[in-house]
Amino acid sequence: MIDLPLVFAVLMGAAILAYVVLDGYDLGVGMLMPAASPGEQDVMVASIGPFWDANETWLVLGVGILLIAFPAAHGYILGALYLPVAAMLTGLMLRGVAFELRVKALGWHAELWNWLFWFGSFLASFAQGYMLGRYLTAFQPGLGYMFFSLLVGAALCGGYVLLGATWLILRTEGALQAKARAWTKWGLAWVALGVALVSLATPLASEIVRDKWFDFPRTLGLMVLPLATLAAWLWVWRSAGKSEWQPFAGAVAIFVLAFAGLAYSVFPYVVIGWLTIWQAASHPSALKVVLAGALLVLPFLVGYTVFAYRVFRGKAKAGLYGH
Amino acid sequence: MDAGDALLLARAQFGLNIAFHILFPSLSIALGWYLLYFRVKVALTANDPGWLATYRLWVKIFALTFAMGVVSGITMSFQFGTNWPGYMQKVGNIAGPLLGYEVLTAFFLEATFLGVMLFGMERVSTRVHIVSAAMVAIGTTLSAFWILALNSWMQTPAGQVMDGEALIAGDWLRVIFNPSFPYRFTHMLLASGLTASFLVAGLSAWRLLAAPQDAGALRTLRAGALVAALLAPVQVFVGDLHGLNTLEHQPAKIAAMEAIWQTRAGVPLVLFAVPNEATRRNDYAVEVPKMASLILRHDPNAEVQGLEHFAPDHPPVAPVFFAFRLMVGMGVLMLAFAWIGSWILRKRAPRWLLWAFAGMTFSGWIATLAGWLVTEIGRQPWLVTGILRTAAAAGRVPEAAIGASLAGYAFVYGAMLVAYVVVLTHLAREGAKP
């Protein structure tokens, strides 16, 4: 008998990780907009144009699995995060619409949509980080926890900027690429600060997390994660000036490792200290039918996603809709 | 505040979101097929500049519409659990998988191939590009399939069994193909076809008012009007079948739609009235004798169950009654415009007709929203007919949080809607560019 809640926890984790990496780079590109010239902004937008719709779909899948597989946790978590969720959704809406309208508007409207695209990207990113902070501290009230969550919000913005900048190294050339290489180092500095602070603060903020990490001799084995993160960080730093694909690969590696660390902190809870994945799971009949569908559909999904990325490989050009 | 206020707020917020959201799928479902047609025309005419320009204009409108649908749809996935935790507890084992299948089979398909369709015309072969356009159209239609399967199941549940406190699916085929699904799904697809057709015709008419010589715009005006003229009578027929199906499975909804308070034979059709919930009768009624019995039972002397039979478990009468008349009235207007317009457009396109079509650009939205109000308010007090009451499903999010986010959403939605309409008319005025 397979452990269905565990399978769905893994699927949900994979969907959320895919979302964070994929929408992360396009949110990051959005946040970098004010640092570029108008001509460069068009190239930046073109570099994410074919992908952002599908990237955001991973969020729907992640939240969808939470809803389908762990409905009690969905209501509890999103109820506790009601306002930051509303802020994130507002940000995603603003940027999605601004993305379409900035190329179709004229005059001052174009400026307005550009600004909204930046603001929406920032608001969504910050709200996601804030939500992560609240989640990790089990939604406890208090100024300290609030401050911690704001910190995670800022750190995630830094992480997304890093993903966006390294994506631009991969997808652009010339002066913009040179700028992106400089942005990468800023992003790295921000991420280092953020990850270090979060890594130190999370065990302080949550007893359950502390017990999992500081349990000798297991702690020694767990040190692989921070060390590997450090190695990935150095890899991005060293390759940022010369390679095209290595910085992005390294940035993704940082996210995967950080995600693994968080997953280890939280598992087997879906709401820390209150609900485990087995307590929150739906009826097996519902899980089975969704799993069957997912196994059937996922190969196609991966297939046509790879196809789309292959169609748009190479450098992005300004000008939309194939002109 | 008491629980009633919280329930009202939760409903208002969810209703606002879902009403805003449905505007865009109701266009993009059928617009996807229009685009496929335009794209195939481009290929068949060996990249004729006129058709290419038409395709490029409408692909922009489609992309904008689709994006509005995506971003407002994401909101919904968050609110199922927060606003209606009782819903997920009781029927989550059925609703969850249906929503999951929508995400898995439709969302990724349409979003991914939309990228190829929008940006890939020069990067892939004509055949692959047409296939991408087809995948987008299939994706939007599949999405409608799953969401209407769920909605129909909530209206006319079938195939479920009780397992402890919650329901599980006993037979998935019966859950999906529940009694009202075939009618509701067809009704919605046709509604989308009509809504998109009037948009195509209306925006083309806008263009022709500014540039009477635009042959491409005249072509799309004719196409939109003709498709609407063909679909409208089918919609009348399907709507009638849907109504008979509702009479069989949700008679209280029909009684509210027709404002029939008492059970009796030879029920008159109420053309206009002000249903009075307090006195339980109609004020200022204008009636056609025996007509309701004729329409509903296809027999002028047949008995129809009135609201008294279902009291107190029937929906509020006035909103359902008026929304139904608004939907039917709009539908009749659309049918008349499409038929008369198509007839005249065979030979010429007079300015008054262009103004008329321009004025009807968003008529489908009004009919769709009115129809949605009929079916959703008409289901009250049930969220899932006979199984779960709306009041039992609401959550415990503080009213202040719902209120604040409701105000925020209302502001953002209002601004987005204005921007959408302004940009659409602006694009249409500019016209198609090769």
Q: Are B431 and B210 in contact (CB under 8 A)?
A: yes
Confidence (pLDDT) at A323? 36
First-to-final CA distance of chain A? 55
B434 touches A at CB < 8 Å: no
- pLDDT tens digits along B287-304: 888 888 888 888 888 888
Contact residues on chain A for B171, CB-CB shorter than 8 A: none
* Whole-angstrom distance, CA of residue A244 vs CA of residue B408: 42
Nearest residue to B21 (alpha-carbon basis) of B67, B73, B57: B73
Nearest residue to A79 (alpha-carbon basis) of B6, B203, B205: B6
For residue B150 the two structure tokens come to 């769920």
DSSP B98-162: HHHHHIIIIIHHHHHHHHHHHH-TTTS-HHHHHHHHHHHHHHHHHHHHHHHHHHHHHHS--SEEE
Nearest residue to B395 (alpha-carbon basis) of B10, B2, B5: B10
Where do runs of H (alpha helix) occur along B250-316?
251-257, 291-297
User: Out of B103, B169, B398, whose CB is closest to A285?
Assistant: B169
Confidence (pLDDT) at B32? 93
The set of residues, in sequence order, having a beta carbon less than 8 Å from that of B228 and lying 6+ positions away, is B193, B194, B197, B198, B201, B334, B337, B338, B342
Whether A15 has a pLDDT exceeding 60, the answer reads yes
| Cα dihedral value B402, A65, B168, B11, nearest 10 | 10
Kindly tell me the burial class for residue A200, based on how many C-beta atoms sit within 10 Å of its own C-beta (0-12, 13-18, 19 or more).
exposed
Confidence (pLDDT) at B300? 86
Distance, CA of B26 to chain centre: 5
* Whole-angstrom distance, CA of residue B10 vs CA of residue B397: 9
Nearest residue to B115 (alpha-carbon basis) of A297, A309, A40, A298: A309
For residue A54 the two structure tokens come to 């599908």
- pLDDT tens digits along A198-228: 888 777 777 787 888 887 777 777 888 889 9
Q: Check residues B338 and A273 and name the one with the higher pLDDT.
A: B338
pLDDT tier for residue B367 given thresholds of 50, 70 and 90: very high
Confidence (pLDDT) at B4? 65
Nearest residue to B380 (alpha-carbon basis) of B327, B307, B316: B316
Distance, CA of B389 to chain centre: 24
- pLDDT tens digits along B26-55: 999 999 999 999 999 898 988 888 888 888
B139 touches A at CB < 8 Å: no
pLDDT tier for residue A107 given thresholds of 50, 70 and 90: low
- pLDDT tens digits along B71-129: 888 888 788 777 888 888 888 888 888 988 888 888 888 888 888 888 888 888 889 89
Confidence (pLDDT) at B1? 42
Distance between A263 CA and the closest CA of chain B, angstroms:
22
Whether B3 has a pLDDT exceeding 80, the answer reads no
Q: Are B423 and A106 in contact (CB under 8 A)?
A: no
Helices then strands, counting H and E runs in chain A, come out as: 14, 2
In 10 A of CB A261, how many CB atoms?
Answer: 20
Confidence (pLDDT) at A322? 39
* Whole-angstrom distance, CA of residue A158 vs CA of residue A163: 9
Q: Are A104 and A68 in contact (CB under 8 A)?
A: no
Give percent of chain B with pLDDT exceeding 90. Answer: 38
Whether A232 has a pLDDT exceeding 50, the answer reads yes
Helix (H) or strand (E) holding B38: helix B3-44
The whole-chain average pLDDT of chain B stands at: 88
Q: What angle do CA B64, B67, B69 make, to 5 degrees?
A: 110
Average pLDDT of the segment spanning A267-290: 86
User: Out of A93, A106, A305, whose CB is closest to B416?
Assistant: A93
Residues in chain A: 323
Helix (H) or strand (E) holding B213: none
Contact residues on chain A for B163, CB-CB shorter than 8 A: 283, 285
User: Out of A85, A283, A321, whose CB is closest to B166?
Assistant: A283
Average pLDDT of the segment spanning B156-180: 88
Give percent of chain A with pLDDT exceeding 70. Answer: 96
* Whole-angstrom distance, CA of residue A223 vs CA of residue A237: 21
Confidence (pLDDT) at B311? 79
B76 touches A at CB < 8 Å: no
B60 touches A at CB < 8 Å: yes
The whole-chain average pLDDT of chain A stands at: 86
User: Out of A74, A90, A104, whose CB is closest to B81?
Assistant: A74
Helix (H) or strand (E) holding B395: none
What sign does the dihedral B196-B197-B200-B204 (CA atoms) show? Answer: negative
pLDDT tier for residue A18 given thresholds of 50, 70 and 90: very high
Contact residues on chain B for A61, CB-CB shorter than 8 A: 103-104, 107-108
Contact residues on chain A for B76, CB-CB shorter than 8 A: none
Q: Is A139 helix (H, G, I), strand (E, B) or coil?
A: coil
- Picking from A311, A313, A320 by the largest number of B CB atoms within 10 A of its own CB, the best residue to mutate is A311
Distances (CA, A) of B348 to A316, B221, B228: 46, 12, 18
Average pLDDT of the segment spanning A256-283: 86
B111 touches A at CB < 8 Å: yes
* Whole-angstrom distance, CA of residue B306 vs CA of residue B376: 19
Confidence (pLDDT) at B233? 94
B56 touches A at CB < 8 Å: yes
Distances (CA, A) of A193 to A165, A183, A232, A300: 17, 16, 15, 39
ipTM of the modeled complex: 0.81
* Whole-angstrom distance, CA of residue B405 vs CA of residue B424: 28
Confidence (pLDDT) at B282? 83
Contact B168 A283 (CB under 8 A): yes
Confidence (pLDDT) at A78? 85
Contact B81 A75 (CB under 8 A): yes
Average pLDDT of the segment spanning A106-127: 85
Find, in chain B, the residue whose alpha carbon is nearest to that of A49.
Answer: B115
Distances (CA, A) of A129 to A159, B67, B217, B403: 10, 24, 48, 24
B425 touches A at CB < 8 Å: no
